[in-house]
Amino acid sequence: MQGVSSASNRSSDFTKETDDLNCHCLPACSEIEYDADYVSQERNWPDYDFTTDETTNLKTSRNDTLYMSLKLSYRMKFILAVNRETASDFIDFVANVGGLLSLFTGFSILSLVEIFYFMSFKRRKMNKFQRQPNQMTNFYMKNVLF
């Protein structure tokens, strides 16, 4: 029972460490996601003489009952791979450029209309009422002399 409880403690320590790594990053363009589960149980091993392996350090003593078996399997036969692609068209491009122009320069459609109005109608109006140089002198002369 001691081996099983220490394995579950290690597993809970691992999940606590990985929960701290959440960085709220944007998702990857291509990703494969696996759901991980674990099941642990206590198992009474028969008194077999195991050979000593230098990589796993299994003991050959009959009194030592702390052996471990690890079996890996997938929950599903097939895994769903997700591929994300961004799609934008000309209207999205125009909207983004217009938003940037208004953000950085204070430009808007109303400003464009005002510029057009000033360049066309206002200039015509000014030209219509603009006086000739001779008119001014004649006006001055009439009012002063009479």
Model pLDDT for residues 38-55, shown as the tens digit of each residue:
777 766 656 555 555 565
Pair (16, 57) in one structural domain: yes
Sign of the torsion angle spanned by Cα atoms 104, 110, 113, 118: negative
62 and 110 share one domain: no
Statement to judge: residues 119 and 68 lie in one domain? no
**1-5, 60-64, 73-77: segment of lowest average pLDDT:** 1-5
How wide is the angle at C-alpha 92 spanned by C-alphas 89 and 96, nearest 5°?
A: 140
Regarding whether 75 and 134 lie in a shared domain, the answer is no
Q: Which of 85, 110, 125 is the last residue of a domain?
A: 85
**Domain region containing 130:** 90-145
Judge if 116 and 64 occupy the same domain: no
pLDDT tens-digit profile of 6-35?
Answer: 555 555 565 555 555 666 777 777 777 666
75 and 99 co-located in one domain: no
CA–CA distance, 99 with 90 (Å, rounded to integer): 14
Confidence of residue 138 (pLDDT cuts 50, 70, 90): low
Q: Are residues 104 and 136 in the same domain?
A: yes
Highest mean pLDDT (candidates 34-48, 95-109, 131-145): 95-109
Same domain, 4 and 49: yes
- Co-location of 102 and 45 in the same domain: no
| Pair 2, 72 in one domain | yes
Residues 53 and 68 in one domain: yes
Q: Name the domain count of the chain.
A: 2
Mean pLDDT for 111-134 is 72
Q: Let me know: does 101 contact 111? Beta carbons within 8 Å.
A: no
* Length of the chain, in residues: 146
Q: Which value, in Å, is the radius of gyration of the alpha carbons in the chain?
A: 42
